[in-house]
């Protein structure tokens, strides 16, 4: 078993190595340039669309749920432990400069997220139950001129998505919840596991409608509360913030030999920050991974580009807002590099974030981080179930099997909450990376379609802006 674990760890390091990171960020850069930086220029339009009353209705176009609910369900799977644990891990492994690279990856990730979500709606289909079925798998199958290549890539994506749903989308999240509650409030892991299983099962049996309603409440509420207390921590350490920001940029762009954290080797400081920042940034916002596009396909909309802009704001909220607050709270508090007196090792993961919040809020800060982990991870379980179920539906096309998947998915959460998951984490990382490869190939192959769609919809955006401006002057 130890040999197998070592092999899995080596494969994990390889698939998340330089080639994958270049492919992920490179695709975002290429697409951003190809569409004339429209995702950047239209970000204000996208944010206004998300916050509009119309986004909460199903009056415009066809679909299963409202545009806002589709975004919140996608964010439920995206905003997770990566925003708390992942950021802390990146800062310990890659230094303060890792946060800068997380932001850079997110800036270009906006276009990747927009593209995969827009294509998912453009090429979505309707199943026998009258529900929308879309995502990278339908995009590849219907969008590729070479149907054989498209079908093969689509099947590979769907298979890896199902595997990843049980790992990174379920067991690891349940484990994070049970560990956090056990460490902070001494709740037995089996109790937490049982509660998670029951709650997940009740919600999932209600289908996408109930799931989206729960996500539309949990995601905004938990994000707002976490941001409020995160900002309080930053303000409490405001005198240290300027120096922390300067250090972040120095570490991000100044080459120098430093210890590579979990790599255990001496590498370039800049490359180390880049690797961990980009990896954890993409892992957090999932831009380019394709999973969020599955949920986007359920949105009620009259145009795929319109919903593509709405869904790309998920990357903005996830990384540019929430991850930034976590990173600045850690860097400004001075806890980065602190040794845990009980273990003699560097504080990392949730322990580091808790230490940052406690620097201003005391014990209450630790409670808030724990509650944040619980809610973030629980919402991730819900969102990823939908991803996995739709991928499974693409493979088997049998409602009875998909219903059985919901039950099994809920039961697996109990296993995740009560067992050690080091091997599962690595296997989940691999499956997640293998999802990205066919999806990124698809985005590059269909870049011409993406550019054409963006150009076609731009006059609509301009007209809507002009109409609103004229209404204000009346």
Write the pLDDT tens digit of every residue in 119-135: 999 999 887 777 788 88
* 30: Cβ contacts below 8 Å, ≥ 6 apart: 444, 447
Poorest-confidence range of 4-8, 107-111, 203-207, 228-232? 4-8
For residue range 50-81, list pLDDT tens digits in order: 888 888 887 888 887 788 888 877 777 677 67
| Residue in 120, 140, 122, 124 with CA at minimum distance from that of residue 132 | 124
232 — pLDDT class (breaks 50, 70, 90): very high
- Which two tokens mark 253? 């762009």
Q: At what angle do helices 269-285 and 97-122 cross, to 10 degrees?
A: 40
- Would you give the distance in Å from CA 78 to the centre of its chain? 3
pLDDT, tens digit (0-9, with 9 covering 90-100), for 358-381: 999 998 988 888 888 888 888 888
**Three-state SS at 445:** helix
- C-alpha distances out from residue 50 to 53, 57, 206, 221, 311, Å: 8, 11, 25, 16, 9
Contact assessment for residue 440 and residue 108, using Cβ atoms and an 8 Å cutoff: no
- pLDDT tier at 268, thresholds 50, 70, 90: very low
List, in order, residues 6 or more apart from 356 with CB less than 8 Å away: 233, 329, 330, 333, 335, 365
Round to whole Å and give the CA distance between 175 and 171: 6
Residue 368 corresponds to which tokens in the numbers above?
């808030």
CB 141 within 8 A of CB 331: no
Q: What is the pLDDT of residue 222?
A: 83
CB neighbours (10 Å) of residue 436?
A: 26
User: Does the model's pTM come out above 0.75?
Assistant: yes
């Amino acid at each position: 078993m130890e040999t197998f674990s070592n092999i899995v760890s080596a494969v994990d390091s390889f698939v998340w190595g330089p080639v994958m990171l270049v492919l992920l960020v490179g695709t975002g850069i290429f697409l951003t340039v190809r569409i004339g930086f429209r995702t950047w220029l239209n970000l204000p339009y996208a944010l206004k669309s998300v916050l509009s009353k119309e986004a909460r209705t199903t009056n415009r176009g066809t679909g299963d749920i409202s545009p806002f609910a589709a975004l919140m369900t996608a964010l439920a799977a995206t905003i997770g432990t990566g925003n708390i644990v992942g950021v802390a891990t990146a800062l310990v492994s890659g230094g303060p400069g890792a946060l800068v690279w997380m932001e850079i990856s997110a800036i270009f990730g906006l276009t990747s997220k927009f593209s995969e979500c827009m294509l998912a709606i453009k090429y979505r289909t309707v199943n026998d139950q009258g529900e929308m079925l879309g995502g990278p798998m339908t995009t590849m199958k219907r969008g590729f001129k070479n149907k054989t290549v498209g079908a093969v890539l689509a099947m590979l994506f769907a298979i890896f998505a199902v595997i990843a749903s049980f790992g990174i989308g379920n067991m690891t999240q349940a484990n994070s919840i049970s560990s956090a509650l056990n460490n902070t409030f001494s709740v037995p892991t089996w109790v937490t596991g049982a509660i998670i299983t029951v709650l997940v099962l009740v919600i999932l049996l209600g289908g996408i409608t109930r799931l989206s309603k729960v996500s539309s409440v949990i995601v905004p509420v938990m994000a707002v509360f976490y941001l409020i207390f995160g900002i309080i921590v930053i303000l409490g350490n405001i005198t240290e913030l300027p120096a922390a920001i300067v250090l972040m940029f120095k570490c991000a762009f100044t080459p120098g030999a430093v210890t590579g954290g979990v790599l255990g080797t001496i590498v370039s400081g800049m490359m180390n920050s880049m690797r961990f920042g980009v990896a954890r940034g993409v892992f957090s916002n999932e831009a380019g991974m394709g999973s969020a596009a599955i949920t986007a396909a359920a949105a009620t909309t009259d145009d795929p580009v319109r919903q593509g802009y709405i869904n790309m704001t998920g990357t903005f909220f996830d990384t540019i807002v929430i991850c930034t607050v976590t990173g600045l709270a850690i860097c400004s508090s001075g806890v980065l590099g602190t040794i845990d007196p009980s273990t003699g090792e560097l504080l990392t993961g949730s322990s580091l974030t808790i230490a940052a919040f406690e620097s201003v809020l005391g014990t209450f800060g630790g409670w808030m981080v724990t509650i944040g982990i619980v809610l973030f991870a629980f919402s991730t379980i819900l969102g990823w179930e939908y991803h996995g179920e739709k991928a499974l539906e693409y493979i088997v096309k049998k409602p009875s099997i998909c219903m059985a998947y919901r039950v099994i998915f809920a039961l697996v959460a109990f296993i995740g909450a009560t067992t050690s998951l080091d091997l599962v984490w690595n296997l989940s990382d691999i499956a997640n990376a293998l999802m990205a490869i066919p999806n990124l190939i698809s985005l590059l192959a269909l870049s011409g379609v993406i550019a054409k769609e963006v150009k076609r919809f731009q006059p609509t955006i301009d007209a809507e802006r002009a109409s609103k401006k004229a209404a204000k002057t009346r």
